[in-house]
Amino acid sequence: MKLATELNLPDLAVRLINAGGVMRIKDGDGNGYKSFNDEDLLKEIMAQRSALEQHIIFSEDRNLIAIKPVIEMGVTQSFPNECYPYEVVACSTNGLQAHVREMDAVMDPSFKPDFHPGGFVGHVSNQHEQKWSYTSNPRGKTRIIRLTKRGWAEGSLRYHMGHASRFYDYNL
């Protein structure tokens, strides 16, 4: 897996990845999408649209812009409480579909959960300090994800293009 900075992407594409990889550009009335919090980034991307078209998808019918998948780009499958790492292994020519494969993730052995009494079993106060290392797994399960109006998805599963992350929620 390559980091966004290793993919030779323009600065605005890297900033789009850091902002979540997908931005809604209009609501149902054609107005600006009110929940987007980086209006300056959106304006910069739209101003340089023609120069960015090989790195960013401008989908008028879906009212969004999204980072185009690149082979070896990291992808995160997100559940309400946990995240799993994937990498892009193939993508369609228009960039609206990508084949992603599970990656192996190993937690840094220096991370020690700080358990406190409470809840069902206990509470971990430092769970957001987890560090993981990722390696490609040629035998990992492959999934096909598509760019929808809500972002990258496979059925009801949601994905974030541009970085791979693993997170284990100790506080379930």
Structure tokens at 75: 């992808």
Which pLDDT does position 34 carry in this prediction?
A: 40
* 55-101 residue pLDDT tens: 888 877 767 788 889 999 999 999 888 999 999 999 998 889 999 99
* 114-166 residue pLDDT tens: 888 876 777 888 888 889 999 999 999 999 999 988 889 999 999 998 889 99
Q: Which of 2-6, 12-16, 136-140 has the lowest mean pLDDT?
A: 2-6
Which pLDDT does position 153 carry in this prediction?
A: 93
Residue 40, CA distances (Å) to 21, 75, 133 in order:
15, 25, 33
Which pLDDT does position 37 carry in this prediction?
A: 55
Helix %, strand %, coil % for the chain, to 5? 15, 35, 45
Which pLDDT does position 77 carry in this prediction?
A: 94
Is the alpha carbon torsion for 29, 34, 36, 41 positive or negative? positive
Helix axes 39-47, 11-18, angle to 10 degrees: 150
Residue 31: pLDDT over 60: no
Q: Are 82 and 74 in contact (CB under 8 A)?
A: no
Confidence (pTM) = 0.79
Contacts of 112 by beta carbon, 8 Å cutoff, 6+ apart: none
**Amino acid making up residue 51:** A
Q: Are 132 and 163 in contact (CB under 8 A)?
A: no
Name the burial class of residue 68, with classes exposed (0-12), middle (13-18) and buried (19+) by CB atoms within 10 angstroms of its CB: buried
- DSSP conformation letters of 119-137: SSS-EETTGGG--EEEEE-
